[in-house]
Amino acid sequence: MTQWFFRNGDLARDGWQSVVDASLEGWQHTGLRIAELAEGDSAPLEAGDVERLVIPLAGSFRVEYASAEGPDAVASDAATASGGIDLAGRRSVFDGPPDVLYLPAGTSVTVTGAGRVAIAEAPVPEESAGEQHPVTYISKADVPVELRGAGRSSRQVHNYGTPAALSASKFIVCEVITPAENWSSFPAHKHDENVPGTESRLEEIYYFETAVSRGLDAPAEADPFGLFATYSSSAGDIDINAIVRTGDIALVPYGYHGPAAAAPGYDMYYLNVMAGPDAERVWNITDDPAHGWVRSSWEGQEFDSRLPYTQAEGQ
């Protein structure tokens, strides 16, 4: 069976901490790059037939970009005037959403700063190349924040790269915060068949980070972790049952996925990048029939009072 789970560092390449792209066997519709930058470091990428979303994970960054078509219309006057923009970041992925910047296909980019940055990617096929989307800046104040589920299924979703929030060619990008002892990405579900109005075909990347839960005083030897699982569907065989920590990556080409569970004492974060071969850019899912009923059990439950997570006090 093809390997679909990678530990932190397994996908290191060309100065990047992790690279997911079509060079991986069986992978073709999505990509992700993670860089850990020190002060003065930069991460350049050439223009190509790929759209990108720059997402600060920890720290703030300067993004310089250049389009083969000349200056792009953007949502920020500062970006228009300078050919680049400063992205206000965050102390960690558990401190609310950051500023993000969308770059269409045919745009080169250089990211400079100190901290950890993610660049979500999706190849833009030739038939979609004429549907050019503008460079788009979304400030952290304008990121749609969704509180999803209830009770121990409560989680926080930052929907900066979903169809409702961003005009893009192929990908759907969001991030999820799951507080300690809660479950997310459940009921287990899939999106590997084209059933119009019901299910769409989407590859999915999960990039994980974990940390001692907010407000807890843990010893130095604390080892934050969570759990993540996938299993097979009629579209293909897959089997991940993994302990996940910061920097780990799970790829879901098909099959049911979930739960993503945060262990007691430890919060869990994941960044999702999805795209597929269907013409419509939409996230339609089918629950595992054995577990879909769980959604109705949330009715009447109180939402987890720890959420939403915003910037921690004193930061």
Is there a domain that residue 305 lies in?
Answer: no
The domain total for the chain is 1
Is there a domain that residue 313 lies in?
Answer: no
Percentage of residues of the chain with pLDDT beyond 90:
89
Give the pLDDT band of residue 210 (cuts 50, 70, 90). very high
Name which of 126, 88, 83, 87 is nearest 107 in CA terms.
Answer: 83
pLDDT of residue 142: 97
Is there a domain that residue 286 lies in?
Answer: yes
β-strand partners of 119: 33, 54
Is there a domain that residue 153 lies in?
Answer: yes
Q: If you average pLDDT over every residue of the chain, what do you get? A: 93
Exposure pattern of 14-39 as b/e (b: 16+ CB <10 Å)? eebbbbbbeebeebebbbbbbbbbee
The three-class DSSP label of residue 162 is: coil
Per-residue pLDDT at 159 exceeds 70? yes
Q: Which domain holds residue 194?
A: 5-298
Is there a domain that residue 70 lies in?
Answer: yes
Exposure pattern of 233-272 as b/e (b: 16+ CB <10 Å)? beeeebebebebbbbbbbbbbbbbbbbbbbbeebbbbbbb
Percentage of residues of the chain with pLDDT beyond 70:
93
H helix runs in the chain, sequence order: 77-82
Name which of 114, 120, 53, 121 is nearest 89 in CA terms.
Answer: 114
Residue type, 279: A
In the structure encoding, which two tokens stand for residue 116, read together?
Answer: 């950890």
Is there a domain that residue 304 lies in?
Answer: no
Is there a domain that residue 9 lies in?
Answer: yes
In the structure encoding, which two tokens stand for residue 92, read together?
Answer: 């960690």
Q: Across residues 82-106, what is the average pLDDT?
A: 93
Long-range contacts of range 230-234, CB-CB < 8 Å, 24 or more positions apart? 230/4, 230/255, 230/256, 230/257, 230/258, 231/188, 231/255, 231/256, 232/256, 233/190, 233/192, 234/193
pLDDT of residue 230: 98
What CATH code is carried by the domain that includes residue 69?
2.60.120.10
Is there a domain that residue 90 lies in?
Answer: yes
pLDDT digits 0-9 by tens, 109-137: 999 999 999 999 999 987 666 677 999 99
Give the pLDDT band of residue 73 (cuts 50, 70, 90). very low
Name which of 296, 228, 293, 235 is nearest 257 in CA terms.
Answer: 228
Q: What is the DSSP letter of 15?
A: T
